[in-house]
Amino acid sequence: MDLELNGKTALVTGASSGIGAATAQLLAEEGADVIVSYHRNEIGAIHTADAVRSVGQRAWLCQMNITESEHVVRAIAALPDEARHLDVLVLCAGEATSTPFDELTPGEWKHIVDVNLNGTFNVLHAAKQLLNNDAAVVIVSSVAAHTGVPHHAHYAAAKAGLINLTKSAARALAPKIRVNCVAPGMTLTDMGRQTAASLPPDYAKQKLLVARFAEPREIAQSIVFLASTASRFVTGATLDINGGRDLR
């Protein structure tokens, strides 16, 4: 199956580590040039850009704090001319904290909603004028959006908002641009390992039909599918990538 990503340009937020880094690398392996967006982890972003270049594709770094809308606008405006036509926009940046519901403060709630929900909107809003005809946007939500999580109420609420943002944006930007979402389960990144450490050792075997957690590249494969023309009839959808947890 030809994903038709050859010669395309992609911007990936959260590309300095984990799922975003794996997605940037896989997009490059499929022939796309990649804008590697990050916040604090410049070394990670350089590593991702090196991985993109190692398969012969172009890479540009784009530093931005997605919670600051003006910062995002400036970072997008500063992209070089050759990177100003996007075929793919992957909105993967996110942050999770684990706090019992009774201890959750308005400040922590606001920060996590700012990063995961408002930040995702900020990038979509600033980058949409760069999206080409037939562009694909992929938003990264979480299984938590469906289930709710007592220690992640703020995160789960923000991720649920992304599923609805996906539907609204898909309607608003059709027929030119498709917008889809993925809802990964526990994935073995820095963020995922932190959460996994607080779970019973047999959690994956008890809860997941595949009896293990995901590798970042397994999530990236679904993101790249939704970013490609192989999914050209899919829009407004959320793809659960959770190893068969909590079948609905």
Ligand X SMILES: NC(=O)c1ccc[n+]([C@@H]2O[C@H](COP(=O)([O-])OP(=O)(O)OC[C@H]3O[C@@H](n4cnc5c(N)ncnc54)[C@H](OP(=O)(O)O)[C@@H]3O)[C@@H](O)[C@H]2O)c1
Q: Does 142 bind ligand X (CB under 6 A)?
A: yes
The whole-angstrom separation of Cα 12 and Cα 18 is 12
Shortest distance, position 47 Cβ to ligand X, whole Å: 11
The one among 3, 8, 12, 16 contacting ligand X by CB under 6 A: 16
Which residues from 60-119 bind ligand X, rule CB under 6 A? 64-67, 92-96, 115, 119
Q: What share of the chain is helix, strand, coil (3-state, %, to 5)?
A: 50, 20, 35
CB nearer ligand X, residue 140 or residue 226: 140
Q: Is the bond into 175 cis (omega within 30 degrees of 0)?
A: yes
> Nearer Cβ to ligand X, position 130 or 241?
241
Q: Out of 6, 7, 40, 85, which residue is the one contacting ligand X (CB under 6 A)?
A: 40
Q: Which amino acid is at 155?
A: Y
Is 38 an active-site residue?
Answer: no
Question: Which one is catalytic: 60, 155, 213, 225?
Answer: 155
Q: List the one residue from 3, 9, 20, 36 that touches ligand X (CB under 6 A).
A: 20
> Can you give 235-246 as a three-state secondary structure string?
CCCEEEECCCCC
Q: φ and ψ at 103, to 5 degrees?
A: -100, 0
Query: Ramachandran region of residue 188, left (φ > 0), alpha (ψ -120 to 50) or beta?
Result: beta
- In angstroms, give the least distance from the CB of 127 to ligand X: 13
Rule CB under 6 A: say whether 24 interacts with ligand X: no
Residue where the block lists tokens 């931005």: 64
Query: Tokens for 95?
Result: 């942050």
Minimum distance between the CB of residue 59 and ligand X, rounded to whole angstroms?
Answer: 15
Contact (Cβ atoms closer than 8 angstroms) between residue 122 and residue 39: no
**Smallest gap from residue 91 Cβ to ligand X (A):** 8
> In the range 197-226, which residues lie near ligand X by CB under 6 A?
none
Residue 39 interacts with ligand X (CB under 6 A): yes or no: yes
Q: Please name the residues in contact with 116: beta carbons below 8 A apart, sequence gap of 6 or more.
A: 94, 95, 155, 158, 159, 161, 162
Contact between 5 and ligand X (CB under 6 A)? no
DSSP, collapsed to helix, strand or coil, labels residue 133 as strand
Pick one of 59, 137, 140, 227: the residue that binds ligand X (CB under 6 A): 140
Closer to ligand X by Cβ: residue 44 or 161: 44
Question: Beta partners for 179?
Answer: 137
Which residues carry out catalysis? 155
Applying CB under 6 A, the residues found at the interface with ligand X are 13-14, 16-20, 38-41, 44, 64-67, 92-96, 115, 119, 140, 142, 184, 186-187, 189-192
